[in-house]
Amino acid sequence: MKFNRRTFIKRLFIAAASIETFFLIKGSISKTHLEKDKKELFNAGKADSFEKNKPYPFLTGQFFLRRFDDGGFIAMSIKCTHLGCIVQSNIKTGGFNCPCHASQFNRFGEVLSSPATRPLDYFPITIKNGDILVDTSKPTKRKSFSKSQLTYV
């Protein structure tokens, strides 16, 4: 087999490109894996500072925090599940209204009137040293409200 200089350089470039491609793919897979496990904890403050049955908006965290009668906390997304507009709390009903296409949600985030078809997403909460920490990287979809979505001190 004849192996001239041109062929050698060509094969050297192909080998270098293959090695670089391998590390680029490997790096992006590792990065994706890390980002999947990444938590974005938003400190909403001390648990005992929140009154029961009152929605507390956290616009930077993009959630409403509510403490129910039994003391359980839930952090519901402020994004309407129809097309993502920002919902507003309804003082009369204790629920939420969407200004875009008039969807309404009850105080648990469940749909009262369409076009939204599913409840507001909610975020996992952990309570550490009395602080409410909301993981805003993990909005969770649900079909209805259940007590398992609440976090207690």
Binding positions for ligand FES, rule: CB under 6 A? 80, 82-83, 85, 98, 100-101, 103, 115-116
Smallest gap from Cβ 78 to ligand FES, in A, equals 11
Q: In this structure, what token pair is assigned to residue 30?
A: 């590792």
Q: What gap in Å lies between CA 106 and CA 152, rounded to an integer? A: 21
Q: Cα–Cα distance between 139 and 21 in angstroms, integer?
A: 34
* Shortest Å distance, C-beta 69 to ligand FES: 28
Shortest Cβ 140–ligand FES spacing (Å): 19
Q: Which is nearer to ligand FES, 9 or 83 (CB)?
A: 83
Q: How far is the CB of 147 from ligand FES (least distance, A)?
A: 26
Q: What is the number of other CB atoms lying within 10 angstroms of the CB of residue 82?
A: 18
Q: Between residues 101 and 128, which has the closer beta carbon with respect to ligand FES? A: 101
Closest to ligand FES by CB, 47 or 98: 98
Q: Between 78 and 125, name the residue whose CB sits nearer to ligand FES.
A: 78
Torsion of CA 39, 136, 52, 97, to 10 degrees: -170
**What are the respective helix, strand and coil percentages of the chain, to the nearest 5?**
25, 30, 45
